[in-house]
Amino acid sequence: MHAWVHEKAGMVRRISAKLAMEAMEEKTGMAELNQLEKDLFMSRIKDFIADSESNEVVIFKFDNDPDKKNIR
C-alpha cells in the first residue's frame, strides 16, 4: 500500500503557481498554448503544488483486519 496525504493548494499557493506559470510561458513556449491546453497542464500539476506538510501522523487500518489494528 502507498498512501499520500496532502491538502488542496490554498489561495496564495494557487496565485504563486499561476504567476510562476506566466513567468515561464515565454521561455518554454507555453505562451503558444491555448487556454484548454493550459488548463490541462494545471490540472496535471495540481498535486505537485498542493499544500503538503511534513511530520504529519497518518493512521490507517484495513477494513478486513480481524484485529482492527491501527497502523502508523
The shares of helix, strand and coil residues in the chain, as percent rounded to the nearest 5, are 45, 5, 50
Write out the residue range of the structural domain in which residue 13 sits.
1-72
36: pLDDT strictly greater than 90: yes
Residue 34 has φ and ψ, to the nearest 5°, of -85, 170
Count of the separate structural domains present in the chain: 1
Which of 9, 4, 1, 2 has the alpha carbon at shortest distance from 56?
Answer: 4
Query: What is the rounded CA–CA span in Å between residue 56 and residue 34?
Result: 39
pTM of the model: 0.43
Greater confidence (4 vs 10) lies with 10
Query: What is the rounded CA–CA span in Å between residue 54 and residue 40?
Result: 28
- What is the predicted pLDDT for the residue at 61? 82
User: Quick one: what percent of the chain has pLDDT higher than 90?
Assistant: 4
Question: For the segment 39-71, what is each residue's pLDDT rounded down to a tens digit?
Answer: 888 788 776 666 666 677 777 888 888 998 888
